[in-house]
Amino acid sequence: MRRVRLPASPRAWPLTVTVPLLVAVLMAMVGAMASYSVLARLTADQELHLRQLAAAHLDALALALQPHVARQDVWETFDILDRVRRGDGGGTIRLLVVTLPDATVLAATDPRLLPVGTSLPPELRERLDPGADLVIDGERGLAWFHRPIGGGAALGHVLTEIDMAPLIAVRWEVLGTLAGVNGGLILLFAAAGYGLVARILRPLGILDQYVERVRTGTAEPIPRRFIAGERNEFGRLFHRFNAMARAVAEREALAARLADEEKLALLGRLASGMAHEVNNPLGGMLTAVDTLKRHGDDAAVRQRSTALLERGLRGIGNVVRAALVAYKEPPGAVATTPEDLDDLRFLIAHEAQRRHVTLAWENRLDGPMPADGAAVRQMTLNLLLNACRASPPGGTVAMTAVALDHGLAVTVQDDGAGLPAEDAELLRGKGAAPLPQGGRGLGLWTVARLLDRVGGGVEVGRGPAGGTRVTVFVPFPDGRRADAAA
């Protein structure tokens, strides 16, 4: 059986433990108060009964002893005391003493302890106080009771020492019974409370499981078999959760569709640029081919024409490779290489030329970095295209990529009028930002979602000469830089 470890703080304990524990503590408190009340009442009843019994017994004994004490007849007095002690069937009388008015012992049931004619010990003399006819010593389990002999003009006193052990034993027996009954009831109600609370909170456990799935990215509705048995508040809560789960799933589907549409839109916008980058060298290459056909015998013409063909083919190859790298992720590839970012320069070259914007490129990566290459390329490409659109003719769009100790930083800066506040909040909001309305800011929203996916951060500010500077931070998965990524 798997042992469950409770957190150190009681506030973090589950309700299935805290509620039965509170019930057990409250029952223990109630049981302790009830036990105290019962024991106090039992003690009071025992003392009252003892007082009444001793008073009746000693009143009769004082009356019987009166003529013998008046004559100070030791033997008759002792004979009466001895018969009373032997007649004590319960064995509760430990000692009987008859004293004269000056506390001198006239007779006692234990002559060796209290010889005739000796003075009563101070401890017993205190028990003859008229204001305390019954004195109880609970620690020693003894009680003392006395009565004057002879009415008002006392001829002496009769003092009895009573063994309280049987009465105290009854108290302990009652206490043990109360403790056993209370303990049994506490365990019973705690177990019943645990089962009842566990049954009541079972729907919360189900809800917790499905909420955790939402947190990890899977918004699944609660199956109908769990909802069918809940017709109270939990049933309504399950229905509302399912409505929320469906809304989240629809939002995620819409987000994925919009992200795909944004990607296709970017590809469409770049297609014209790619066509321009391909058509320009194609025209020159066709001219070179025509020249070779006519003047191929001339070595100088062949050399110039083949050099032109080679440059054109290399340019076309760069554009095609950049498009493939940006939009077709190799299986299992996670590293970001310097070439991944340099290839983006070919993709936005036409957009920069069309808008008469100069590109300033500073790629400081010295090798593969353990960062999500696809996310880094797509974020950088979106930021570069936005920067080209924001910069005025003759402006500059700068890209800087730097490898830090624990991640990768890519900065894109433009010479525009500045990023609107709502667009900056769209970036900072990451995955929590709402979908932009009307398609405006969809590229930045895509960057925000990619940052949320890789667990990165963003910093939006202004450059030294104005414009907007956006820096995205992409952490390495293992928390450190790997300079020799495979």
Assign residue 158 the CATH number of its domain.
3.30.450.20
3-class secondary-structure state, position 105: strand
Specify the pLDDT at position 153: 55
**Minimal CA–CA distance to 403: which of 338, 326, 454?**
338
Q: Are strands 407-413 and 396-403 parallel, antiparallel or unpaired?
A: antiparallel
Mark which of 171, 203, 219 sits at the end of a domain. Answer: 171
CATH number, domain containing residue 482: 3.30.565.10
Residues of the chain with pLDDT under 70: 1-12, 14-16, 89-91, 132, 151-153, 217, 228-232, 259, 261-284, 287-288, 308, 311-312, 314-315, 317-334, 430-442, 479-486
Q: Are 388 and 352 contacting, i.e. CB atoms less than 8 angstroms apart?
A: yes
| Sheet strands side by side (includes 156-163) | 105-108, 93-99, 156-163, 142-149, 134-137
Angstrom distance (rounded) from CA 473 to CA 427: 12
Of the candidates 255, 199, 209, the one whose C-alpha atom is nearest the C-alpha of residue 229 is 199
Q: CB neighbours (10 Å) of residue 258?
A: 18
Using only C-alpha atoms, the chain has a radius of gyration, in whole angstroms, of 51
3-state secondary structure of 165: helix
In a domain, 375, yes or no: yes
Count up the domains in the chain and report the number: 2
CA distances from 111 to 71, 78, 88 (A): 19, 9, 19
Residue ending a domain, among 146, 171, 196, is: 171
Structure tokens at 51: 């007082």
**Residue 402 contacts by C-beta under 8 Å, 6 or more apart in sequence?**
364, 365, 408, 409, 410, 411
Reported for 47-50, long-range contacts at CB under 8 A and 24+ positions apart, including other chains, are 47/134, 47/136, 50/134, 50/143, 50/145, 50/162, 50/167
Q: Is residue 185 part of a domain?
A: no
Predicted pLDDT at 324: 53
Residue with tokens 């110039």: 304
Beta strands in 250-394 (DSSP E): 358-363
> Does the residue 374 lie in any domain?
yes
Domain end, chosen from 108, 142, 171, is at 171
Residue 452 forms part of a structural domain: yes
In a domain? residue 177:
no
Q: Is residue 480, in this structure, part of any structural domain at all? A: yes
317-354 CB burial, b ≥16 within 10 A, e <16:
ebbeebbebbbebeeeebbbbbebbbbbbbbbbbbbee
Residue with tokens 């309700």: 15
Tokens found for residue 268:
């469409």
Alpha-carbon gap, residue 409 to 404, rounded angstroms:
7
Tokens of 76: 């008759």
Task: Note the pLDDT of residue 361.
Answer: 92
CB environment 7-21: b (16+ within 10 A), e (fewer): eeeeeeeeebeebbe
User: DSSP code of 221?
Assistant: P
Global confidence as pTM = 0.43
CA distance 220 to 76: 102
Provide the residue range defining the domain that includes 459: 336-486
